[in-house]
Amino acid sequence: MRCLFGIAVILALLGGGPLFMWWLGDIDPRGDWRNADRTSAGLAPDLERTPDAVVQVYSARAFGWRGIFAVHAWVVTKPKGAVEYTVHQVTGWGRPTLSSRTGIPDRAWFGSPPEVHATLCGAPAEQAIEQIEEALPHYPYQDRYRAWPGPNSNTFVAWLIREVPALAVSLPPTAIGKDYLGDRIVAPSPGGTGFQVSLGGYIGGTAGVRDGVEVHLGGLVVGIDPGTLGAKLPGVGTLSLLGARGTNDPAECPPRAAE
């Protein structure tokens, strides 16, 4: 009976969050990508007011029914004095899968508003940009894409965070694919303060100061974040009493108005 009860609890944790997101109705599983919103959310620092270098990490709910479970993540950079942002992301509709193109850094992801997970400005951003530009050509899955359990857009951002210590940010538990390690079983956690184990992205776990404690089952994440008194739930994300982790100094990085 205890075994059956334990299985029931695990299934409830894994399935309850996505079912709750579907019930809320904020995600349209039948949306048309051709008509979806792709405008700026006004979260990126204003180019005219920010001559310094900028690096940001974003995510937004995936398009269609996938958004019930997962987010799509990307990274944007702006070197010192630059007049445009460059968006670095992985998608499944081209080869190589990784693209680095100038564009709107904080645009909605086909109808889903973005969320900022980290912002670096000034000297820290300059250091991070150097590391990012050095790392990008070495992304190991440029010719491969698999929405589940990876490698996908979240796999790329998690990989880049591991390669760029200056980023030091933990992706949300809804970033399915962040725990895909390819042929490796053990690796540093994306947050840079712990370690994780993963068997093909299907099952594993993470423990770290910034990442908290996570259990990965079928790509879904259940865990706790002691640093923010938060619970990590599949589909929902992190429910925290102390607010989300991340770095953002609006005094040094003034946001711009939404378009």
The three-class DSSP label of residue 102 is strand
Render pLDDT for 240-256 as a digit per residue (tens, 0 to 9). 777 665 544 444 576 66
Location of structure tokens 């770095």 = 247
Render pLDDT for 107-121 as a digit per residue (tens, 0 to 9). 999 999 999 999 999
- E strand map for the chain: 54-61, 71-78, 86-90, 98-102, 115-121, 186-188, 194-199, 203-208, 212-217, 220-225, 230-233, 237-240
Query: Residue 103, Cα to own-chain centre: how many angstroms?
Result: 19
Instruction: Please name every residue paired with 237 in a beta bridge, in sequence order, or none if there are none.
Output: 233
Render pLDDT for 8-24 as a digit per residue (tens, 0 to 9). 555 555 555 565 555 45
Q: Where are the domains of the chain?
A: 2-240
pLDDT band with cut points at 50, 70 and 90 for residue 6? very low
Render pLDDT for 64-84 as a digit per residue (tens, 0 to 9). 878 888 999 999 999 999 999
Q: Give the span between the Cα atoms of 52 and 120, in whole angstroms.
A: 10
Query: Mean pLDDT, to the nearest integer, of 231-242?
Result: 81
Q: Give the span between the Cα atoms of 209 and 46, in whole angstroms.
A: 32
* pTM assigned to the model: 0.88
Render pLDDT for 150-197 as a digit per residue (tens, 0 to 9). 999 999 999 999 999 889 898 999 999 999 999 999 999 987 789 999
Q: Is the pLDDT of residue 30 over 90?
A: no
